[in-house]
């Protein structure tokens, strides 16, 4: 395609002098980090399916465009996948590791052997797998006081499926995964409104769409490969709008390193920015819908033929005054009208959202408000249109669909007597019919001493959930904690009233028989075993969970174990989850199947009981912000999940202690950049330093997980049970 200077971000070659990440420096850092295993790292890059974000690749290519794909996130993960084992003598007395940052603990190396710390002991000693499994099994009789949690740290579908089956064989549905704290409100709201809890379109629909609207989403930080799609979308004439409290620098201008034009001159990304309050999305989106209705910009034919509930929604927004919508959203009626005009004039549009929408006590309603806009304009089920809850991690979409979910069974089926009876017949053992404990419920139960065993596969509750002190106390009260991971984390070192086991896991690239992941666009992708060094006695997680269950319930051993390995698991997934048809045939590099095809809900046919998409009235949330207080949101910087890679964000220069504040508020309060301030909320305090940023006045941002000390652990959404990662705070300048 021809060069197009209209989209250039800068005339300076390679953006010299501009504030932006140095992607070529990242290549050099990655090269240095895998010293001694560079051939293995190269094979992972070329033969594996990326274990970073959920865009999904085969090696360094994908199915959207015939170009090289390689992002900073994947490069930073190479070290974890290739590092040597740690020296287990370091664990004999963990007091020497106290206070180390998580990055320092990870850098010690891979966990090579099962390790046990008995109550009262200063550290861990090596034990055999038999000892570790038998100890755990001795605590699992009865099963109902068990909780299991799996992160999306490259966890493949096979691990999720086998783990949830094993936990249910133990008599509980208390198994959950990282989707609970990211897109669970999307799952709830989409299932209710369109009958499917997944994106309705493909990445290719971005390119050539009239309009893409990002709402509370920042792919430049979290899904960097997506920025190449946006480069091509801009070349095709797509307009891009952003609804957010912060005008993200990476969404303003981005230099795609693997594209010559963008690498040289950068690319202007966002054409229209709409600033809103933290938590003000419903006010803004309902205002946009109100304009669409009043200005007669609806797709009436689509609404009449393919939806239900529109009149109820029309009445609801008619009863919401412009004054109340403006007060909640922080945006003007005219700004809402501008987005309504863009949507109304667009023949096609894709609506994309992420954590800025879901991580609220009313996250489900936030998603419903987005769905209402898409249904009002008929932007579902056809080319260049869709609803896209973009996923941040390679295992999130598949985790819930495999049934590793306290409130759902394989295939996303609700936990009902009818559905549990179906799986009981398939698996040959009783499946409980009551929902289990969600991730946050498990911590609450541990805090109340109502949980006997917590199995945490990956992750770190101390860095992921609100109120780290509360989580630490809960972890310390468990009779047995089992941590399955590839490296050390700070939660493993929490001293306990009971025993603590560390079990070494394999990466996806080490698993015999290969594994699969499911991308944001519903593509189930095979990732083969990659030849290379293996670490100690590390096991695949599917084997750890099934062996634990088989030892606790030996009479079910032949129903739980998988002697045929991951191919046998894929065969069973295809039987248990019919819409994953084809997964059993995936066996070599590049094999994939996109369930549902390019579009869900094709031509307006929805997988709901009546075949129609459902509008839902969305009430305005009651947000109380006292005079002088701020709404603070937690943001991601130079990191992947809670793994912080750098202290400074290359996009905006923010360090981990930065408190992002609007220039208006900073001037009003007499706060220069670098001034030390204290934020105080209902749950705690945070001390940081001022950094002026293009934020909507009255709002602040601080980094996650450092800012979790401000978050109230009891604030969760009613249906999805997602924690609220925002808080009302006061700000004062400290004496220093």
Mean pLDDT to the nearest integer, 552-572: 97
Give kind and range of the element (H or E) at residue 399: helix 396-401
Phi, psi of 472 (to 5 degrees): -60, -45
Q: Is the pTM of this model over 0.85?
A: yes
Residue with tokens 């109380």: 624
Q: Is the peptide bond before 705 cis (omega within 30 degrees of 0)?
A: yes
pLDDT at 427 over 70: yes
Banded model confidence at residue 640, pLDDT cuts 50, 70, 90 = low
Q: Average model confidence (pLDDT) for the chain?
A: 93
Give CA–CA dist 460/634, Å, rounded. 17
Q: Does 373 or 32 have the greater pLDDT score? A: 373
pLDDT at 646 over 80: no
546 and 162 Cβ atoms separated by less than 8 Å: yes
Q: What percent of the chain has pLDDT over 90?
A: 79
The pairing of strands 453-457 and 146-150 is parallel
Mean pLDDT to the nearest integer, 709-721: 91
pLDDT at 469 over 90: yes
Give CA–CA dist 78/81, Å, rounded. 5
Predicted local distance difference test score (pLDDT) of residue 412: 94
Banded model confidence at residue 471, pLDDT cuts 50, 70, 90 = very high
List pLDDT tens digits, range 486-523.
999 999 999 999 999 999 999 999 999 999 999 999 99
pLDDT at 151 over 90: no
Predicted local distance difference test score (pLDDT) of residue 736: 64
Banded model confidence at residue 625, pLDDT cuts 50, 70, 90 = confident
Predicted local distance difference test score (pLDDT) of residue 181: 87
pLDDT at 527 over 90: yes
Mean pLDDT to the nearest integer, 269-281: 96
pLDDT at 629 over 90: yes
Banded model confidence at residue 728, pLDDT cuts 50, 70, 90 = very high
Structure tokens at 379: 């932007």
Predicted local distance difference test score (pLDDT) of residue 653: 86
Mean pLDDT to the nearest integer, 360-375: 97
Predicted local distance difference test score (pLDDT) of residue 639: 60
pLDDT at 155 over 70: yes
Banded model confidence at residue 129, pLDDT cuts 50, 70, 90 = very high
How would DSSP label each residue in 191-206? HHHHS-SS-SS-GGGG
List pLDDT tens digits, range 320-359.
999 999 999 999 999 999 999 999 999 999 999 998 999 9
Predicted local distance difference test score (pLDDT) of residue 284: 98
Residue with tokens 């509008």: 615
Predicted local distance difference test score (pLDDT) of residue 638: 64
pLDDT at 643 over 80: no
pLDDT at 187 over 80: yes
Give the Cβ contact number of residue 656 at 10 Å: 18
Mean pLDDT to the nearest integer, 105-130: 96
Give kind and range of the element (H or E) at residue 600: none
pLDDT at 233 over 90: yes
Predicted local distance difference test score (pLDDT) of residue 143: 67
């Amino acid at each position: 395609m021809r060069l197009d200077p209209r989209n250039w971000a800068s005339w300076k070659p390679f953006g010299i002098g501009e504030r932006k990440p140095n992607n070529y420096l990242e290549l050099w850092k990655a090269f240095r980090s895998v010293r001694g295993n560079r051939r293995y790292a190269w094979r992972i890059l070329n033969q594996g399916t990326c274990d970073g974000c959920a865009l999904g690749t085969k090696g360094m290519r994908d199915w959207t465009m015939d170009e090289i794909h390689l992002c900073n996130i994947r490069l930073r993960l190479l070290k974890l996948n290739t590092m040597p084992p740690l020296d287990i003598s370091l664990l004999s007395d963990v007091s020497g590791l106290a206070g180390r940052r998580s990055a320092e603990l990870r850098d010690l190396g891979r966990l090579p052997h099962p390790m046990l710390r008995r109550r009262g002991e200063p550290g861990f000693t090596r034990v055999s797998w038999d000892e570790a499994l038998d100890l755990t099994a001795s605590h699992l009789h009865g099963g109902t006081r068990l909780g299991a949690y799996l992160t999306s740290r490259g966890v493949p579908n096979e691990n999720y499926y086998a783990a949830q089956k094993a936990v249910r064989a133990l008599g509980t549905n208390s198994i959950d995964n990282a989707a609970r704290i990211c897109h669970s409100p999307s799952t709830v709201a989409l299932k209710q409104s369109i009958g499917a809890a997944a994106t309705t379109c493909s990445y290719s629909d971005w390119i050539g769409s009239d309009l893409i609207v990002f709402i509370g989403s920042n792919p430049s930080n979290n899904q960097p490969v997506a920025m190449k799609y946006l480069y091509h979308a801009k070349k095709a004439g797509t307009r891009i709008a952003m609804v957010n409290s912060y005008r993200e620098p990476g969404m303003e201008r981005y230099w795609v390193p693997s594209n010559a034009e963008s690498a040289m001159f950068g690319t202007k990304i966002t054409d229209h920015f709409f600033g809103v309050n933290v938590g003000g999305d419903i006010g803004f989106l309902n205002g946009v819908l109100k304009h669409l209705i009043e200005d007669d910009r609806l797709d009436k034919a689509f609404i009449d033929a393919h939806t239900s509930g529109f009149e109820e929604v029309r009445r609801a927004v008619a009863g919401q005054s412009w004054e109340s919508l403006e007060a909640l959203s922080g945006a003007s009626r005219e700004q809402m009208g501008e987005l309504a005009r863009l949507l109304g004039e667009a023949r096609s549009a894709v609506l994309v959202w992420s954590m800025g929408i879901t991580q609220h006590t009313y996250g489900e309603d936030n998603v419903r408000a987005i769905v209402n806009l898409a249904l009002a304009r008929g932007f579902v089920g056809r080319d260049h249109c869709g609803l896209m809850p973009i996923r941040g991690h390679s295992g999130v979409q598949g985790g819930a669909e495999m049934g590793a979910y306290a409130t759902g069974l394989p295939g996303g089926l609700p936990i009902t007597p009818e559905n549990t009876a179906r799986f009981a017949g398939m698996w040959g053992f009783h499946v409980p019919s009551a929902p289990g404990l969600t991730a946050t419920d498990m911590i609450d139960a541990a805090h109340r001493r109502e949980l006997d065993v917590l199995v945490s596969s990956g992750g770190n509750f101390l860095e992921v959930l609100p109120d780290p002190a509360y989580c630490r106390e809960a972890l310390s009260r468990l009779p047995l904690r089992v941590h399955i991971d590839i490296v050390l984390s700070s939660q493993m070192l929490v001293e306990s009233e009971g025993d603590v086991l560390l079990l070494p896991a394999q990466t996806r690239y080490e698993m015999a028989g290969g594994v699969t992941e499911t991308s944001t666009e519903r593509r189930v992708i095979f990732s083969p075993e990659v030849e290379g060094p293996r670490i100690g006695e590390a096991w695949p997680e599917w084997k750890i969970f099934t062996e634990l269950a088989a030892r606790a319930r030996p009479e079910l051993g032949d129903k739980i174990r998988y002697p045929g390995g991951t191919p046998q698991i894929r065969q069973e997934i295809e039987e248990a989850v019919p819409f994953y048809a084809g997964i059993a045939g995936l066996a070599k590099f590049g094999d994939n199947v996109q369930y549902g095809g390019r579009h869900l809900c094709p031509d307006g046919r929805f997988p709901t009981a009546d075949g129609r998409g459902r509008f839902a009235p969305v009430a305005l949330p009651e947000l109380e912000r006292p005079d002088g207080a701020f709404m603070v949101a937690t943001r991601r910087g130079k990191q992947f999940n809670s793994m912080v890679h750098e202290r400074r964000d290359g996009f905006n220069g923010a360090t981990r202690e930065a408190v992002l504040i609007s220039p208006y508020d900073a001037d009003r309060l007499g706060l220069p950049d670098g001034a030390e301030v204290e934020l105080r909320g209902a749950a705690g305090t945070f001390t940081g330093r001022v950094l002026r940023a293009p934020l909507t006045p009255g709002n602040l941002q601080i980094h996650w997980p450092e800012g979790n000390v401000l978050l109230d652990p009891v604030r969760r959404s009613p249906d999805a049970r997602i924690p609220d990662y925002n808080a009302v705070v006061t700000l004062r300048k400290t004496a220093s």
